[in-house]
Amino acid sequence: MTLLRLGPDALRASRFALSPLAETLSRLIVLRRELDGGRPSPQAQVLAGWLDGDPFAAGLLRLVSATKFLPDFVAIPPSSMTTRIADELAQMRAVADSEARATIAESRRFAWMTSSIAWADADGITTCAAAVFARGWQWFVEPDWPRRRAVMERDIRHRAGVLAAHGWRQAISGIGKIRWAGPDAILFSTQTHADLPIGDHGLVLVPHTGTVGQWMCESPPRFALVYPARGALEQLHLAEEGVARLIGQGRARILATLEDPTTPSQLAVMLGVSLGTVSGHLATLRDAGAVFGRRSGRAVYYERTSLGDALAGRLLHQQEAVHPTPGGS
């Protein structure tokens, strides 16, 4: 087992942050695994064309999508809710080639698919890696960043509310496979590695919008845990059949998104539609008894009823049957 050890000072300093780099890594891993799965989406096909002409990018993404130990230079702890991709890539480029090669070799040792790492022999490894992630960000994440950010911010708001009311033990409940393993320990992995003592810098918790995958970012004394956000963006792409066809794709996507209380404006951003469209769908769902609204100050937060929960559960079950989720990283 691998335990994260957090004393009282570490817990007091722990907090949430956003990471454009972690989101880009998550997206690239999903697309790379789609190529292995034989059912590539249009974006995965774009990635395939890129990798065909870029051996370095092909080797790096093959490794990070098939290992239990990510190279340190692709897993950089973010600092705040306003972390910029440019700053993260600058930190990546600052890693020396010797350090990069050592962590690549360690990553390969924990990979479940053996492949050559000859691509790492060139000079300027992390400069090349930063260029890969800059392109991945520009092509596959940045155009959709407002929606992705809205999903992650909603997860953080939810967990921050639980934290204020019940403490860290409840706030991390449901984050991947991690769980409390004692008064000062979190079970991060069933793999046998040395425990990680988290010092008074605290643990930074970082959501991403993929449906699976959690990893540690380690740059002592800074540590971050990246985890799938509740209501991950990929869960919004529902199968066009069954209940979704009966109630309509727009209303189906709203039900799938309402895992936590959400305002119409937040829904509009997350779903990429107009506020008027969202309001119309919510009115229909409310009249059908699938959702209800609760006012908080000037905002109205919508939630699913028991009927809405049942419909959403059926929708997501259909999605999993049609689009199986790839394994965790």
Q: How far apart are CA 162 and CA 153, in angstroms?
A: 14
Q: How far apart are CA 244 and CA 133, in angstroms?
A: 35
Q: How far apart are CA 21 and CA 72, in angstroms?
A: 13
CATH topology of domain 237-322: Arc Repressor Mutant, subunit A (1.10.10)
Q: What is the DSSP pairing of strand 215-219 with strand 203-208?
A: unpaired
The per-residue b/e assignment along 51-79, b for 16 or more CB within 10 angstroms, e otherwise, is beebebbbbbbbbbbbbebbbbbbbbbbb
* Domain limits, the chain: 2-17+148-228, 20-146, 237-322
Task: Output the CA–CA distances (angstroms, integers) from residue 91 to 38, 74, 84, 94, 142, in the order listed.
Answer: 35, 10, 11, 5, 19
Instruction: Give the residue with greater pLDDT, 146 vs 249.
Output: 146
Read off the pTM.
Answer: 0.77
Which of 132-136, 194-198, 313-317 tops mean pLDDT? 132-136
Q: What is the DSSP pairing of strand 179-182 with strand 185-189?
A: antiparallel
Q: How far apart are CA 14 and CA 320, in angstroms?
A: 34
Beta bridge partners of 6: 198
Model confidence pLDDT, tens digit, residues 94-130: 999 999 999 999 999 989 877 788 999 989 999 999 9
| pLDDT attached to residue 94 | 97
Q: How far apart are CA 217 and CA 324, in angstroms?
A: 27
Residues in the chain: 329
Model confidence pLDDT, tens digit, residues 62-99: 999 999 899 999 999 998 999 999 999 999 999 999 99
Q: Which amino acid is at 110?
A: F
Q: Mean pLDDT for the chain?
A: 86
Question: Quick one: CA dihedral 100, 101, 103, 107, positive or negative?
Answer: positive
Model confidence pLDDT, tens digit, residues 15-24: 999 999 999 9
